[in-house]
Structure 1
Amino acid sequence: MSEKGTTTAPEDAAKPSPGRRGRIAAAAGILIVAFTLRIAVTSVPPLTGMISKDLFLPSWLVGILGMLPTALFGIAGLLTPLLMRRWSVEVLAVASMIAGAVGQVIRAFAPETGSFLAGSAIALAGMGAGNVVLPPMVKKYFPRRVGLLTALYVTVISLGTTVPPLLAVPVADSAGWRTSIGWWAALNVVAILPWLGVSTQGRARRRKSPSRGTSARASSALPRVVVRPWHAPAAWALALLFGCTSLNTYTLFAWLPPLVTGAGLTPGEAGLQLAIFSGVGLPMSLIVPVLASRLRNPFPIVVFGVSCFIAGYLGLLLAPATATWLWSTFAGLGPATFPLSLVLVNLRTHSHQASGAVSGFAQGLGYLLACAGPLLAGILHDATGAWTASFAFLGVTLVILAVAGWVVCRPRYIEDHPGVVVPARFQGGTTPPVT
């Protein structure tokens, strides 16, 4: 990881604050961007059979497509904070939407498998950058409504995960698979429009502000700093909280249907269990960020999530064909720590610049860690012929999750750790942090 870190100005005080219309446009922009962040992931799986008739798409390549989202989300998460050294979160939000649109158009018109994979990679990288910029945008425009806005955008991400697979096959049946996966690019374009409005209103406010010259001089006089989240134990803990939550979630997405069908349920019943697992998390997306923002130490939410995971896993392991809906419900409540980790990005940072650096660090490492979950769980099952070893592995990750949650939930800001924030001219890290 580069020791150059993320270079930022420590304050936004010299910048004119957005007016009411600007905040409305920003809220719309945040929510529309949030809705697009899983489209490229969930719009394709229902169509792989149709796509394989036109493109070379064997089973092993479908497996690679399944691993691409978390891998590219992780890589984009680590790289996006470096781009924040040069460009604002608004510019990066627009760039991420452009990448998402271009990638989806490329794979919709792909004449062969290579270009289809390239388009998928571009779209997923753009959406990975979008994952990172949402927390700092909330921090920047709604510093006093972090819990509410986080709850709204996490819920919208869930909706954006659910809607594309529901529409994929009907649209493909009527207009073809290329239209079914390509038309979503239009939504990425729509997501750009609010940010163009925010930018226009911001320039207008600066022109009308009588103190704009003074503000500009004050802004230029502010010392630039480097934010290095990897110097803070709390940032590592946040990455582990996010990563272990995602690892458990993606593992169940991959293996819950085979597990319950192996226990005697029909494929239709297995699909219902997966729907229960994913659906019960929706109210958690609304409740957890608001609740966490009101608690000095939200560690009880971590305890709740880990306890639900354990209850669900024990039920699925010991009695998978009995009251399966109950075990799926418990397991689905476990990822309450996902919205918690996202809101903690802002609750444990002072500024939106630090929020961006921490968001990229935590999500980058977290998504890369999550890649290992489905793969290792499958390897352990194949090696032993049972699910016991797979659940033991998931149990170890839950212990890590609990310890990481205890560390990051303590009421301390990440920038307050020594070595996290240093003047830009001392990027070698030999000078004390700015206080």
Structure 2
Amino acid sequence: MTLLRASRLTQPGFFLLVLLLTAANLRAPITAVGPVLENIRHAFGLSAAAAGFFNFIPLMMFAALAPFAAMLGNRFGLERSLWAALLLITLGSILRWLPAEAALWSGTALLSAGIAAANVLLPPLIKRDFTQHTAKYIGLYAATMLLTASLASGIAVPLAALSEADWRLSLGVWALPGVVALLAWLPLLRMPRAAGPSGAPSSLSAGVTPWRSIIGWQVSLFMALQSLAFYTLIDWFTPYAQSTGYTQAEAGWLLFLYQAVAIVANLGCMVALKRLRDARLTALVSSAAIFCGMLGLLLLPQLAALWLVIAGSGAGASLVLCLSLFNLRARDHRQASQLSGMAQCVGYALAALGPLAFGILHQQSGGWTLPLTLLAVLSFAQMLLAPLAGSSRQI
């Protein structure tokens, strides 16, 4: 009976359920903050600069903790490490329910640390146990993250209006998906694992670190450039759109369109990766879409909806591609964990600096031409890097 139960729990269907429940926790606690940020500022008297750290802290935590998450996953096991990451996310969301500024900041740091670890550990888990489903699972995982992120943004303000808890309800409610995911993981934690995955590193990957590999740097820089474009556009599109004649509400709906298209592109890229021999064409086309979108926003902002559809398709496909490359370029799950840690460290560090640099250029130049030109140039650099990062070579 025990063996039969274990066999059922290792079926792709059950693993996919647990994977999607986990993915639902990896962006929503962060994106729920933006719509109620003014409520939070008024509650604690925060300056605009201080409030900006709610976007900066998660990205920097993603970058700083990524390599350590990879080491912990290889040391203590992927399942246990992922469960601990989910516990941090859940506890952080619960902390933010408390009506204290210290609880708000500490809860944000705690859940950001958990998300940073889970970001790194999920791709190598797929590599280890379900290699034949890599493209499918990565695509659905990324789509779920974006879908719940959009949902969190959309319901934050209505939730705040439901009770006197105000913004605390909008943030604290995301502890519930965390509890559900923690419970779903318990059967997997109790299952005996084969000696292979948790044993010594394989001879193929022993001593080979992505930090000393040109392939590792190509994948990491590709991750960095696509992340920088995505987060910079998310942060700065609204004020740019308002300066070109759009209302704040219209800009908000355009950003929703951008993210919705990215979700569809996630699934499309999943199919493409499954059918194509290597990812070079997918990498090039998705990067070209981001470049065209940025260039279009610079030259013809009145067609912003068109450019955001194009850029969103490239952003969604690029995200799935990056997550897939952690597995495709690694020889085993341990090396995939190391590459995931490296790429997310480099990628999110630059992504955190991107909106900051964009804002500085906008302030110094007094307009939008210079920062948008730089964003288009960096997207063009992603195009040049795409065939290298997407090749079929392994570390």
Same fold (TM over 0.5): yes
Query: Is the aligned partner of 1:127 residue 2:115?
Result: yes
d(CA) in 2 for partners of 1:278, 1:131: 19
Q: 1:139, CA displacement in angstroms?
A: 1.2
Q: Secondary structure at the match of 1:84?
A: helix
8 Å CA contact 2:279–2:392 kept in 1: the answer is: no
Deviations 1:327-369 (A, max 9, x none): 2212212212111111111112221111111111111110011
d(CA) in 2 for partners of 1:226, 1:110: 49
Query: Is the aligned partner of 1:300 residue 2:281?
Result: yes
d(CA) in 2 for partners of 1:182, 1:19: 36
8 Å CA contact 1:72–1:124 kept in 2: the answer is: yes
Is 326-335 or 237-246 further displaced after alignment? 326-335
Correspondence for 1:275: 256
Deviations 1:129-157 (A, max 9, x none): 11111101111221111111111111111
d(CA) in 2 for partners of 1:169, 1:272: 15
8 Å CA contact 1:101–1:188 kept in 2: the answer is: yes
8 Å CA contact 2:264–2:313 kept in 1: the answer is: no
1:105 and 1:219, CA in 2 relative to 1: closer, same or farther beyond 3 A? closer
Query: Is the aligned partner of 1:115 residue 2:103?
Result: yes
Is 302-311 or 364-373 further displaced after alignment? 302-311
Q: Secondary structure at the match of 1:145?
A: helix
8 Å CA contact 2:94–2:172 kept in 1: the answer is: yes
Q: Secondary structure at the match of 1:122?
A: helix
Which structure 2 segments of 5+ residues have no match?
1-5
Q: 1:314, CA displacement in angstroms?
A: 2.5
d(CA) in 2 for partners of 1:286, 1:35: 16
Q: 1:80, CA displacement in angstroms?
A: 0.5
Match of 2:23 among 9, 30, 34: 34
d(CA) in 2 for partners of 1:401, 1:314: 14
Match of 1:185 among 175, 179, 182: 175
Correspondence for 1:9: none
Q: 1:19, CA displacement in angstroms?
A: 2.4
Query: Is the aligned partner of 1:319 residue 2:309?
Result: no
d(CA) in 2 for partners of 1:403, 1:308: 13
d(CA) in 2 for partners of 1:362, 1:227: 15
d(CA) in 2 for partners of 1:239, 1:115: 34
Q: 1:227, CA displacement in angstroms?
A: 4.8
Deviations 1:3-31 (A, max 9, x none): xxxxxxxxxxxxxxx62432333222211
d(CA) in 2 for partners of 1:50, 1:267: 17
5 Å-filtered alignment, 1:20-419, equals: 20-23=8-11, 24-111=13-100, 113-175=101-163, 176=165, 177-200=167-190, 202-203=191-192, 225-321=206-302, 323-335=303-315, 336-414=317-395
Deviations 1:271-330 (A, max 9, x none): 122122111111111111331233222211222123222322222112212x22112212
Q: TM-score, normalised by structure 1?
A: 0.83
Which structure 1 segments of 5+ residues have no match?
1-17, 207-211, 415-435
- Which amino acid is the alignment partner of residue 264 of structure 2? P
1:267 and 1:180, CA in 2 relative to 1: closer, same or farther beyond 3 A? closer
Q: Secondary structure at the match of 1:114?
A: helix
Q: 1:160, CA displacement in angstroms?
A: 1.6
1:186 and 1:226, CA in 2 relative to 1: closer, same or farther beyond 3 A? farther
- Aligned CA-pair RMSD: 2.3
| Higher gyration radius (CA) | 1
1:405 and 1:311, CA in 2 relative to 1: closer, same or farther beyond 3 A? closer
d(CA) in 2 for partners of 1:274, 1:387: 18
Q: Which has the higher helix share?
A: 2
